[in-house]
Structure 1
Amino acid sequence: MTQHPSRPSAADHYSLPLRGLHWLTVIAIVVVYGVTYLEDLFASGTPERALVWWTHISVGLSILGLVALRLVFRVVGPVPPPSAALSRPAHLAASVAHVLLYALLVATPLVGIYLAFLRGNEVTFFGLFTIPSPVAVDRTAARQVIEVHELLANALVVLALLHAAAALVHHVVFRDDVLRRMLPHR
């Protein structure tokens, strides 16, 4: 059977665990970023507003876990070679973008955890476990750290959107295998 030139073989796809973790990470980013817009719907100190931040923090911690699993699967599992459709400069740009995405996926939640601790809050993961704050409350530092957290979160979302746009351009315009390698396959 002849392989269609724009349809990657199973060996050229990312593994099922990596594909699953990728799409779970996408969903988690949408939830963790999107839920913050619900804050203003509820008065300060209400259970609903507390639920918004409980969800934000729990999903943020989930992102750290997903990234850790992704890194393990990348190290121990097979990772397909770069797509033949990518030129050397495009592959280099994609590699830099991936490194930056991973760095932001780790740094953003870690800074968020530090922010919660500076505010005197404990960090809980969907009520399954709680991490008490190991640092003294410092509201002045918290105001500075929230700006860093927001900057990192915005950078993560912008870079993720650029990543998605590049994948869509490859799929729709160039009609190559770049996006299909991360999609479920038959």
Structure 2
Amino acid sequence: MIDPTLERYPFSMRALHWLVVLAVLVAYGVIYLEAFFPRGSVGRAYIWWTHISVGLALVALLMLRIPNRILARQPAPSAALSRPVRIAAAVAHGLLYLLLIATPLLGIWLAFLRGDAVTFFSLFTIPSPIGIDRTYAREIKEVHETMADALVVLAMLHAATALVHHFVLKDDVLRRMLPPSR
């Protein structure tokens, strides 16, 4: 719901935005540490435990973020943005949300196809409800990885665009998602 009196997004939207950013960075980045550990090692298992747990946290954050985005009061679109730029931003946000939802869900499905249980920081475990299909799992793994790469590239473009608005165009686009300055 648009509130033209707001200059920034509400705290809940800003907090969920930055928590999602953190979760994506950790889930994506931790996988690159896997190469440092041999198969079957405790270190490698910890990498996967972290990746899956953070992926589940991302799903939980999105379950909060999406209704919050729909229901929370938010500022009107920045006056600095032309109509074509607002449309492009809406498309980019839509793609980001699609990838943010689909990528971790596909990762969970991948784990289940491998016959693995999914654990959330060892607080609870969800056993695989489906049969093992390693051939299909390999196909799903490729799609999951491609979607994760696309998510990170799109998020980097999103961040770069926000930085251009802030440092080059010197408008309010990024400030609206940052904490208030003192």
Tell me, in whole angstroms, the C-alpha distance in 2 between the residues paired with 1:17 and 1:10. 17
Superposed CA offset, 1:126-173 (max 9, x none) = 111111101111110111000000000000000000000000010111
AA of the residue aligned to 2:82:
S
TM-score, normalization by structure 1: 0.93
1:69 — aligned with what? Answer: 64
Alpha-carbon distance, 1:72 to partner: 1.7
Give 1:141's match in structure 2, choosing from 136, 139, 143.
136
Equivalent residue runs for 1:27-176 within 5 Å: 27-176=22-171
Contact 2:5 2:75 in 1 (8 A): no
Q: Which runs of 5+ in 1 are unaligned?
A: 1-8
Superposed CA offset, 1:5-42 (max 9, x none) = xxxx9712000011011111111111001100011111
Tell me, in whole angstroms, the C-alpha distance in 2 between the residues paired with 1:137 and 1:30. 29
SS at structure 1 position matched to 2:180: coil
Moved over 6 A (4+): none
Tell me, in whole angstroms, the C-alpha distance in 2 between the residues paired with 1:145 and 1:79. 37
Tell me, in whole angstroms, the C-alpha distance in 1 between the residues paired with 2:71 and 2:5. 18
Paired residues, number = 178
Superposed CA offset, 1:68-105 (max 9, x none) = 11112112210211111100000000000001001100
AA of the residue aligned to 1:145:
I
2:8 — aligned with what? Answer: 13
- Sequence identity, in percent? 61
